[in-house]
Amino acid sequence: MSRLQRSILSLVRKKGGAVLARDVLVEYYGFTPYRSLEGIPAGCLVFRKSAIVGYSSATVGVCKAFNRLVKRGLAARRLGGVQVKIN
């Protein structure tokens, strides 16, 4: 299991069962959102993509890590593939 996958599982446990890709981008990659994540629904933009070097690569990495966790049976997709919840 990759370091990113282990980090996602740790974050899921810490946050109480489910995380969004943006949570991983903040916690694992250290990206700074331009507005608070509290109360912002899934799918809403919280980053200025053009201001973050490596944003596209990071989001692809998170998506692939989510897919691998699902394939291993360690997680389940929710909300159109953006949120992962531990089974």
6-65 pLDDT, tens digit per residue, is 999 898 888 877 888 888 988 999 888 877 777 776 666 678 787 788 888 999 999 999
Q: Which domain holds residue 27?
A: 3-86
**Rounded to two decimals, what is the model's pTM?**
0.82
Look at the chain and report how many structural domains it folds into. Answer: 1
**CATH number of the domain bearing residue 47:** 1.10.10
Residue 16 has what pLDDT?
78
C-alpha of 9 from chain center: 10
24-41 pLDDT, tens digit per residue, is 988 999 888 877 777 776
